[in-house]
Structure 1
């Protein structure tokens, strides 16, 4: 009896999901959705799970969310996986998360993974020099293995903060400008060009951002009901819809994603108008 009830309930959920997919597909679909994965530790504490289990359950939620997004036609999904500030946590907790990262990166290169089902190109961005060798090598492996995938994109922000990204991009822009000045022949450069060499434009910085691999996000979702950006994509979210469901990250489901998309479609004319004014 319980098996029959579970089957009927599953069929009902599947039917509702198909109906919502049809409704959402009528309106504009966001090109880029970003997520702050907040609440893994609180979820584990709430259910009295072993330390670290919340992140494992959270990874399964990420796979489900990626399926929903890619099925709906989203081209870019970004996730705030690990902040530079998170290195301040207990060493054993940091190590546990990094071990999980290596495990999941290795799973991504397997043929049956979601990466190959949806032809997802994976970018792992941030200050990767802060990572241990095994994590960095696993990250490089999955990026190389998926470099020819071309239908969808997953950007994993690891050892990342937006302020570090901005400083990095500014420093690279300055280094590039200085190199051009040094390579010029003294005394033969036109005065106008000389002045131009010292000018750093917004486009110069944006081109060197870690997030330069993707357009600015259309929706930023932070779970747990928090409305702080926590140093994530500060540069890129000036014209972005913010959505903060109260669910912890491992609790996020299809209805949360559907509601975010419906809200995006409702505010789409306003957001487009603001973008055109820039």
Structure 2
């Protein structure tokens, strides 16, 4: 590795494996999602303590609507409880909450709760926690390209300026848990030159220590951006 070790500013995580975690233990799938929320708490605190500027979590994709209605309802209830229970801690810790994706498609009570949380933390200058809700990267790119075209030329720069993550640092590291090795329509544009890390750890078992280890792995890599 040449020069100083790279330092990650922005990490994104595809939080996968809640269902398999529960199945391995012969527990209801909903309990796996509950444990997944506990993992979110630990990792957000870890990201803050490790000095990350931004952490993006894939919470609910545009494809997740295909899941059984009861499971979608459970996920919405968990999300609401998480915001209510953890918002004070985030606000006091300087975490800025950001939503990417079309969260307005959710029920009005969810939309209102999300918007109030975003507004309450909008002036915080610590770690940005971006939560992808009803998010699909192809949809995001299409929206960004349409906005860029309405303003003039379509170039990589003008599209990047219209992405949901435009006000965040470039993506450095993308992690996926549970052993799956695919991006699942997540941050496709942003991941163009990001480092990838796939781990067999199921999301409910993922901790701040796993995040720290991932950052150490990132620091040992040589980023070439297409060069030699």
Offset of 1:135 from its aligned partner?
1.2
Contact (CA 8 Å) 2:95, 2:124: kept in 1 or not? yes
1:236 to 186, 190, 194: 190
Between 207-216 and 253-262, the greater mean CA deviation after superposition: 253-262
* TM-score (structure 1 length as normaliser): 0.76
Which residue is 2:118 aligned to?
A: 143
Contact (CA 8 Å) 2:10, 2:173: kept in 1 or not? yes
**CA displacement, residues 221-277 of structure 1 (integer Å, 9 cap, x when unaligned):** 10011110000000011111111111100011244223211211111xx21x327x5
Contact (CA 8 Å) 2:62, 2:135: kept in 1 or not? yes
Say whether residues 1:211 and 2:162 are aligned partners: no
Specify the structure having the higher radius of gyration (Cα).
1
Q: Please show how residues 60-139 of structure 1 align to structure 2 within 5 Å.
A: 60-110=38-88, 113=89, 115-139=90-114
Between 249-258 and 73-82, the greater mean CA deviation after superposition: 249-258
* TM-score (structure 2 length as normaliser): 0.92
CA distance in 2, matches of 1:55, 1:237: 26
Say whether residues 1:34 and 2:12 are aligned partners: yes
Q: Structure 1 regions of 5+ residues with no counterpart?
A: 1-25, 178-196
Larger RCO: 1 or 2 (CA < 8 Å, sep 6+): 2
CA distance in 1, matches of 2:91, 2:27: 31
Which residue is 2:139 aligned to?
A: 164
Instruction: Give the paired residue count.
Output: 224
Which residue is 1:173 aligned to?
A: 148
Which residue is 1:186 aligned to?
A: none
User: Quick one: structure 1 residues 91 and 50, their matched pair in 2 at CA, closer, same or farther if it must change by over 3 Å?
Assistant: same
Between 127-136 and 31-40, the greater mean CA deviation after superposition: 127-136
Q: Secondary structure at the match of 1:243?
A: strand
**CA displacement, residues 40-71 of structure 1 (integer Å, 9 cap, x when unaligned):** 11111111222311111111111111222221
**CA displacement, residues 116-170 of structure 1 (integer Å, 9 cap, x when unaligned):** 3420000011012321111111110110010111111100000001001011111
More helix by share: 1
Offset of 1:104 from its aligned partner?
1.3
Contact (CA 8 Å) 1:29, 1:74: kept in 2 or not? no
